[in-house]
């Protein structure tokens, strides 16, 4: 099968600047090629990457894109010339996977493959315009419901398929051999609940959080999806009030370094507040694969792989007292750790993550591609 993957205009592949969608499709593309399929990957030209190269058995082509901006209308305008450039390098294919806003409108219906549209964000009205689509693929049931509301005539063509882990489950040390560290890894942006996490940790009495530390790690620049220097400075100012047990560090994108971070963490906190922005939570799943205990908000997407009865902790982000709710969850985790009750949660979280190993998830996609041609 000939498979083309067309990424968006703003992040490169390999995922040198992060990006859950870029990481997922980079891994899937490599796995498809290992299964004997002909894979072409088209993405943004930047960061010294060549216009074309072969990585493994995957052919990569790159065209000029743009840095992301806050204004969503300008963002869409910036992506249009990228799609027009990409159209010139797209090969003949059986399936064309894309999450680009403009691709379903400006690409021909059949020449480059049946349009397999990855909806990695909550739709905002555009889905009803994508009449060339053969399939809408979504990472969670919550997004499937949103797509079905916009395009009820395509409801039978919606596939719920998850993102994969980018690695096989690594060997891990037990929680008792790790620092008492809580890690947040993701974009530094108000919608991610980072300030609330910092506030909640600071509200815990020093005796209760004795020995525990909080590490916040992620991109803050606007072109990388962060909220900018002002937001970073506000986080640093608030962390200084708590003391040296809180640190804010640069993002880590290298797989080896990321695994090292997770392997030296007991709790992975991802307190996202993005009701219309969070669609899966790949970073939480990655941390779970390394034995970290997840702490997440009550967004619907997390419920597909985190169960507060055994595989993680959940706080109500929608309540007016969400900081206190987050604080209570952190205290409960610390108490469970002290009582020796956190290790079973770690074990269960890791078992769940195993279901999302790359080979298993790639098979689901390949079966779905084959169904398009049946």
Residues forming beta bridges with residue 133, ordered by sequence position: 115
The crossing angle, in degrees rounded to 10, of helices 282-289 and 343-354 is 110
Model pLDDT for residues 272-286, shown as the tens digit of each residue: 998 877 788 889 999
pLDDT score at 142 = 87
Residues 208 and 345 occupy one common structural domain: yes
Residues 224 and 300 occupy one common structural domain: yes
Model pLDDT for residues 75-124, shown as the tens digit of each residue: 999 999 999 999 999 999 999 999 999 999 999 877 899 999 999 888 88
- Indicate whether 374 pLDDT > 70: no
CA distances from 161 to 99, 323, 360 (A): 14, 33, 11
Report the alpha-carbon distance of residue 83 to residue 316 in Å, rounded.
40
Residues 364 and 349 occupy one common structural domain: no
Residues 261 and 336 occupy one common structural domain: yes
Closest CA to 296 of 264, 274, 276: 274
Closest CA to 267 of 246, 244, 288, 252: 288
Does residue 169 lie within any of the structural domains?
no
Model pLDDT for residues 3-46, shown as the tens digit of each residue: 999 999 999 999 888 888 999 999 999 999 999 999 999 999 99
pLDDT score at 344 = 96
Residues 65 and 144 occupy one common structural domain: yes
The crossing angle, in degrees rounded to 10, of helices 255-263 and 282-289 is 70
Residues 263 and 283 occupy one common structural domain: yes
Closest CA to 174 of 309, 307, 266, 295: 266
Residues 191 and 336 occupy one common structural domain: yes
| Residue corresponding to tokens 């560290």 | 181
Give the structural domain span for 158.
Answer: 2-164+358-373
How many domains does the chain divide into?
2
Closest CA to 186 of 110, 107, 287: 287
Residues 101 and 240 occupy one common structural domain: no
């Amino acid at each position: 099968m000939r498979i083309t993957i067309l990424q968006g205009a703003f992040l490169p592949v390999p995922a040198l600047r992060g990006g859950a969608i870029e990481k997922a499709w980079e891994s899937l593309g490599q796995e498809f090629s290992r299964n004997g399929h002909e894979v072409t990957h088209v993405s943004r030209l930047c960061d010294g990457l060549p216009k074309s190269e072969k990585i493994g058995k995957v052919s990569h082509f790159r065209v000029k894109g743009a840095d992301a901006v806050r204004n969503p209308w300008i963002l869409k305008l910036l992506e249009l010339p990228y799609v027009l450039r990409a159209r010139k390098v797209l090969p003949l294919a059986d399936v064309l996977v894309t999450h680009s806003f403009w691709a379903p409108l400006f690409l021909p219906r059949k020449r480059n493959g049946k349009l397999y549209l990855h909806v990695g964000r909550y739709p905002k009205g555009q889905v009803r315009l994508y009449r060339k689509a053969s399939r809408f693929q979504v990472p969670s049931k919550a997004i499937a419901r949103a797509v079905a509301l916009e395009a009820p005539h395509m409801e039978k063509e919606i596939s719920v398929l998850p993102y994969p882990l980018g690695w096989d489950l690594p060997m891990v040390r037990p929680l008792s051999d790790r620092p008492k560290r809580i890690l947040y890894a993701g974009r530094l942006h108000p919608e991610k609940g980072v300030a609330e996490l910092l506030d909640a940790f600071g509200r815990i009495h020093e005796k209760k959080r004795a020995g525990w530390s909080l590490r916040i790690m992620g991109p803050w620049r606007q072109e990388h999806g962060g909220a900018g220097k002002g937001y970073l400075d506000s986080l640093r100012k608030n962390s200084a009030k708590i003391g040296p047990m809180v640190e804010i560090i640069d993002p880590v994108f290298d797989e080896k370094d990321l695994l090292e971070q997770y392997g030296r963490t007991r709790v992975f906190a991802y307190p996202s507040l993005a009701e219309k922005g969070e669609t899966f939570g790949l970073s939480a799943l990655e941390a779970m694969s390394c034995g970290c205990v997840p702490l997440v908000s009550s967004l619907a997407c997390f419920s597909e792989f985190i169960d507060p009865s055994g595989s993680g902790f959940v706080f109500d982000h929608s309540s007016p007292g969400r900081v206190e709710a987050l604080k209570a969850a952190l205290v409960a985790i610390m108490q469970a750790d002290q009582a020796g009750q956190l290790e079973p949660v770690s074990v269960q979280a890791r078992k769940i993550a195993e279901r999302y190993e790359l080979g298993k998830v790639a098979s689901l996609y390949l079966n779905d591609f084959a169904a398009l041609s049946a």
